[in-house]
């Protein structure tokens, strides 16, 4: 075991503060990683505030990790000391259930082990995330990171990136298709970049007129302010796919009726509830589905795609001492579009 410096919340809604805890020594198949950057995901805030009621305190959040390999176990083949590496939401799973065998570990039937707040089978207690100096993860759950990329801008790809890449790939988004993105935040801005990169015509829906200019800069072909009833009704029955990245309460029926015959809408956000009128689906044989991050193979595919096409998240890099302020600003949507912690700020 080694001691690790990190930041933890010790109680629900408590401020994050310096915290010392144990990491396991790397076993034969483990990779030890010095953390360089860790993104701040909205889920971190949900956990710290214990909004979903299952947080184990103290919690060290963080599942958008980019770092450098500092040591590897004797059986590790894909990584060597000095390599760049990424760790996302998933740090372990059963490996033998149908979902794991399909490379969709996020749906592991025995229960996926997330980077934080999940039972730690090595040390007992609960897993500790990336707001910390180093981590130790089984090679099978560590991602390769190209040395060509901007590391801070790559960190959010491990969650916000794969969450949006996966459904766009699943519905084979490409040229000639019209894709709608609802919400321009951490997820929405990545969905916009990917849909654009895949060659689709992209329409961005936002509640904030102030975000219009930014949406065009990020690659939107069209931007519609959702309070503009005329502009909204002009979109009826025109989309192949709509990606809904909003977690605040909103009317999904409005967007479902914008789908073409046979079109699909995918929920990525988690509003408190979704009320849907059956006619929104029945008329036009439309479908509503959900999506959750992506498995390890698809996450690697996404990172490779981003490295090749120069795609990163738009980030604001902060020292870890500003993490509590960053949470407040994230809750006010006052960030373009992801905070990333520079872990060098933890100091010697």
Residues lying near Zn ion in the complex (CB under 5 A): 41, 43, 93-94, 97, 100, 108, 159
Please state the closest distance from residue 222 (CB atom) to Zn ion, in A: 28
Please state the closest distance from residue 64 (CB atom) to Zn ion, in A: 7
Closer of 138 and 240 to Zn ion (Cβ) = 138
Closer of 83 and 316 to Zn ion (Cβ) = 316
Q: Sign of the C-alpha dihedral, residues 152, 291, 90, 8?
A: positive
Closer of 100 and 320 to Zn ion (Cβ) = 100
DSSP three-state, residue 254: helix
Please state the closest distance from residue 249 (CB atom) to Zn ion, in A: 21
- Return the structure tokens found at 197: 């990169």
Closer of 225 and 292 to Zn ion (Cβ) = 292
Q: State the residue for tokens 């020292």.
A: 319
What is the pairing mode between strands 84-87 and 178-182? unpaired
DSSP 35-52: EEEEEE-HHHHHHHTTTT
Please state the closest distance from residue 292 (CB atom) to Zn ion, in A: 10
Please state the closest distance from residue 323 (CB atom) to Zn ion, in A: 15
Closer of 268 and 307 to Zn ion (Cβ) = 268
Q: Residues, the chain, total?
A: 348
- Return the structure tokens found at 55: 């947080």
Please state the closest distance from residue 196 (CB atom) to Zn ion, in A: 22
Closer of 109 and 228 to Zn ion (Cβ) = 109
Maximum distance among all Cα pairs of the chain, rounded to whole angstroms: 63
Please state the closest distance from residue 238 (CB atom) to Zn ion, in A: 31
How far apart, in whole angstroms, are the C-alpha atoms of residue 100 and residue 98?
Answer: 6
Sheet strands (E) in 189-331: 201-206, 222-225, 239-244, 259-267, 287-290, 315-319
Cβ(321)–Cβ(344) under 8 Å?
no
Closer of 296 and 346 to Zn ion (Cβ) = 296
Strands of the 222-225 sheet, one edge to the other: 222-225, 201-206, 178-182, 239-244, 259-267, 287-290
């Amino acid at each position: 075991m080694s001691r690790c410096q990190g930041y933890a919340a010790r109680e629900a809604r408590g401020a994050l503060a310096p915290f010392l805890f144990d990491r396991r020594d790397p076993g034969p198949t483990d990779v030890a990683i010095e953390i360089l950057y860790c993104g701040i995901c909205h889920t971190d805030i949900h956990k710290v505030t214990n909004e979903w009621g299952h947080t184990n305190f103290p919690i060290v959040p963080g599942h958008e990790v980019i770092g450098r390999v500092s040591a590897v176990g004797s059986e590790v083949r894909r990584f060597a000391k000095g390599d760049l590496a990424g760790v996302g939401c998933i740090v372990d799973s059963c490996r033998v259930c149908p979902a794991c065998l399909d490379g969709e570990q996020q749906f592991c039937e025995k229960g996926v082990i997330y980077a934080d707040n999940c039972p730690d089978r090595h040390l007992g207690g609960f897993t500790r995330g990336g707001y910390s100096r180093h981590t130790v993860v089984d090679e099978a759950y560590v991602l390769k990171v190209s040395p060509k990329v901007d590391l801070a801008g790559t960190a959010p790809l491990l969650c916000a990136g794969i969450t949006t890449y996966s459904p766009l790939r699943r519905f084979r988004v490409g040229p000639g298709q019209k894709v709608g993105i609802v919400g321009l935040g951490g997820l929405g801005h990545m969905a916009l970049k990917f849909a654009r990169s895949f060659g689709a015509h992209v329409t961005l829906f936002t509640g904030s007129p102030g975000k219009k200019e930014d949406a065009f800069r990020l690659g939107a072909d069209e931007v519609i302010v959702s309070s503009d009833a005329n502009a909204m009704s002009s979109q009826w029955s025109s989309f192949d796919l709509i990606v809904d990245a909003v977690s605040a309460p909103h009317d999904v029926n409005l967007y479902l009726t914008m789908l073409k015959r046979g079109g699909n809408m995918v929920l990525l956000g988690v509003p408190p509830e979704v009320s849907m009128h059956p006619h929104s689906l029945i008329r036009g044989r439309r479908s509503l589905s959900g999506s959750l991050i992506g498995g390890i193979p698809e996450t690697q595919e996404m990172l490779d795609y981003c490295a090749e096409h120069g795609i990163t998240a738009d980030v604001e890099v902060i020292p870890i001492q500003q993490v509590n302020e960053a949470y407040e600003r994230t809750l006010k949507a006052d960030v373009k579009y992801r905070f990333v912690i520079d872990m060098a700020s933890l100091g010697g």
